Amino acid sequence: MAVAGRPHINMRQLAKGRKRAFEASACAKAILAGEHAAVYGMPAVCIPVRSLRARAGVDSAKSGVTIEAPDLGLAGEPGAPGFPGGLEHLAAILRETSGALGIGFDRLKLRVESSIPPARGLGSGAAVSVACARALAGFAGLDLPPETASAIAFEIEKIHHGNPSGVDNATVAFEKAVHFRKGSPPRFVDPGRLTFVLADSGPAPPTASMVSLARGKLGAPGEWILSSFEEIAELAVKALVSGDARALGRLMDRNQMLLSAVGVSTPALDSLCAVAREAGALGAKLTGAGGGGYMIACVMDEDAQAVARALTASGAQGVLATGLGGESVQ
């Protein structure tokens, strides 16, 4: 994955000239239509959630490479005895970024923090990958194009999820609403003004396990389901662009029915979706692989507070009201 024309940069020399850390961040994402079906080449519609972010900072060090994740209470030097297994994904990001940019990273400290809850369907892993790649490239004095950041994150997604669609890393790296189909360049869309409320139902199992669970119903016997996912996604992107909240809400409800039929929803997610609708939401569905994690509801601006309060009262572990631009409407 090396980038043509990139020279090898001696980080020892680079570190001498640096006095402060280089910091970068990346946003969360939420899928409005097409999760699981996207793995099989069906379209998906995904939006950035800019108010939730992963942040990475890189600073020079006297020797070696150290990775710190204060959120996890972990720190260590890759390759050294006792390096925490919980940091292996960050070490993989460093290696992948090094290969992509043709840079030999040494004598630095990489620190990662995130406000994006992990294992909740919000693209936490992709956001951490993109934030780290941006910080490492910036520390080396290089601009990192979004397509390169996306490609780096996709390689890490493969490690975590086995057969990812690529929609998470594309949305996170470009921070744009995307009409996505696996194997094709992402199509970025200019959405109309829409408001959403997201709520956390609790931890979700690994994405790979949920993809495996859905596989039995999305293979040959489930061709009609895939066709339905496709129809919903194509209509959803039109509603997204036009800002037709009512149409989008109805499509999200249909998408949730299919996800329940595939077996990736849960009673907790179904309950939060019902609570949101009863409080005035136009439609609601899980976002991400399912089995837990966040749901997302499409709402009118004037109903956002009421929906958020109802979800909080129902026991949601975290509630966020946001616009497509990431502006909080709390």
Catalytic (active-site) positions: 168
Cα–Cα distance between 265 and 111 in angstroms, integer?
Answer: 35
Cα–Cα distance between 314 and 161 in angstroms, integer?
Answer: 31
Residue 57, amino acid: G
The secondary structure element, H or E, covering residue 93 is helix 88-101
Residue 139, amino acid: F
Angle between helices 267-278 and 245-262 (to 10 degrees): 160
Cα–Cα distance between 242 and 232 in angstroms, integer?
Answer: 15
Q: Taking a C-beta distance cutoff of 8 angstroms, is the pair 201, 318 a contact?
A: no
Cβ atoms within 10 Å of 269's Cβ, excluding its own? 28
Question: Which residues are registered as beta bridge partners of 68?
Answer: 75, 111
As a whole number of Å, the end-to-end CA separation of the chain is 42
